[in-house]
Structure 1
């Protein structure tokens, strides 16, 4: 007799998802293999998700809802599951970010998480050598869904020029990431400025920070160190951060000039690069030309 793993639906959001998936599947008399056939995956994957060995994706959840006629149950659950995969210290910030009506951020090293492409996010998150990189990437992509709401938060991002020039993930990944930033150039809810190297010393040399505003709750300032994140609603800190952000906005390029710089860096630094053999041929041709 096959051993059936006992599931505890109260252990975690992932545990509840797996328990509910098994319950719904068995209610309809489907084996794991048969459900897998219906939703175009393996029965093994269904089993791994039911036993919390794998984290479900949004696509998987939507397919399950369609196959089992569960009226969006798993599509709703997967958001909770993916948020639970974020680092424990980051989850309180993610919850507040999802409630914010206005987000402003200065980023000195990396593209802000809400603006990252999946490939860029994967390269960034891999540096921490996580146990389940796929789950972390899926959680970051899920976090970005707040920008797809009918009325998303207003957002303003200032990116240091170093963010554009640091080749995270390689040339192709960076080209895709900068193209993603350019998609926001005409966005109604998002504004992006670049703080150029020419600005020299500026109001946030100490590092990146985020500011969140809410409809009814006090503003929050969020910063990170190498170990954890820190949120504060201290009025003094809020005022100081607002003052520094105003100086950053004044020192940064205009939105139009920022778009132009992003475009230029994308083309000049991350554009199509000639292959080594093409460079060799070009060099030989140049030498022949000079001999004539």
Structure 2
């Protein structure tokens, strides 16, 4: 007799997703293998998602909705599932980020999460959590959906030039990442500036930070340390950091010159390497 693992649907969004997937599949009279064949995956993966051993992707949820005719139920639920994979201390910020109408961010070490490629994110996240890379990358990609809304937030990014030179992953990962940044050239909602090494001492040297603005909510300042985030609506902090951010914008290269620098670094540092063939013998 098959030992079916019991689930507590109230334990987490992931448990709820798994229990509902099992219930809807059985209602449809399908085995795990049957459903897997319909949604182009293995029956083993269906079983792993039903028992919370794997986190579903948005694509998986959409295919299951189509296969089981569940009227978008799993597609709506998967957002909560993926959000729950973010670090607990980061979830409050992610919630507010999704509601913001204007995001200003200064990044001194890495590309801002909303602009990371999947490969770049994976290379970053595998350093500390190699056991949860797939889940955390899926959660980060889910965050980026706000940039594809009909009315996305305005995003202004100032990044230190060192971000362009810090190798994350390999040359191909970095080349694709910088190419992705260049794809926003001309985007009315995304502006990217690079703070060059020649800027010297500046107001962002204490670390990365974000300022979120809303239509119907006080502005928020956010910064983080290794294992926790700090978010505040203190007017004095908002005023000081907003002025500091304006100074960073004034010191950084223009968006046009920044794009030229990104393109130059991409070609000079991360250019495709010619394949070495056998040497001819004279």
TM-score normalised by L of structure 2: 0.97
The 2-side partners of 1:99 and 1:281 are apart by 59
Partner of 1:56: 56
The 2-side partners of 1:240 and 1:213 are apart by 15
Partner of 1:252: 252
Matches within 5 A, 1:12-161: 12-161=12-161
RMSD: 1.6
The 2-side partners of 1:215 and 1:185 are apart by 26
The 1-side partners of 2:219 and 2:70 are apart by 39
1:150-207 CA-partner distances (Å, limit 9, x unpaired) = 0000110001100011111111000000000001111111100000011111111111
The 2-side partners of 1:105 and 1:47 are apart by 41
- How much has 1:148 moved relative to structure 2? 0.4
- How much has 1:129 moved relative to structure 2? 2.6
Partner of 1:180: 180
**Helix, strand or coil: the match of 2:210?**
strand
1:20-66 CA-partner distances (Å, limit 9, x unpaired) = 10111111111111001111111110011001111001111111011
Q: Point out the structure with max Rg over C-alpha.
A: 1
The 2-side partners of 1:129 and 1:30 are apart by 35
Unaligned runs of 5+ in 2: none
Unaligned runs of 5+ in 1: 286-292
**Helix, strand or coil: the match of 1:19?**
helix
Aligned residue pairs, count: 282
- How much has 1:12 moved relative to structure 2? 0.3
- How much has 1:274 moved relative to structure 2? 3.7
Post-superposition, which runs of at least 4 consecutive aligned residues in structure 1 deviate over 3 A? none
**Helix, strand or coil: the match of 1:47?**
helix
**Helix, strand or coil: the match of 1:3?**
coil
The 2-side partners of 1:281 and 1:252 are apart by 47
The 2-side partners of 1:281 and 1:189 are apart by 51
- How much has 1:130 moved relative to structure 2? 4.3
**Helix, strand or coil: the match of 2:93?**
helix
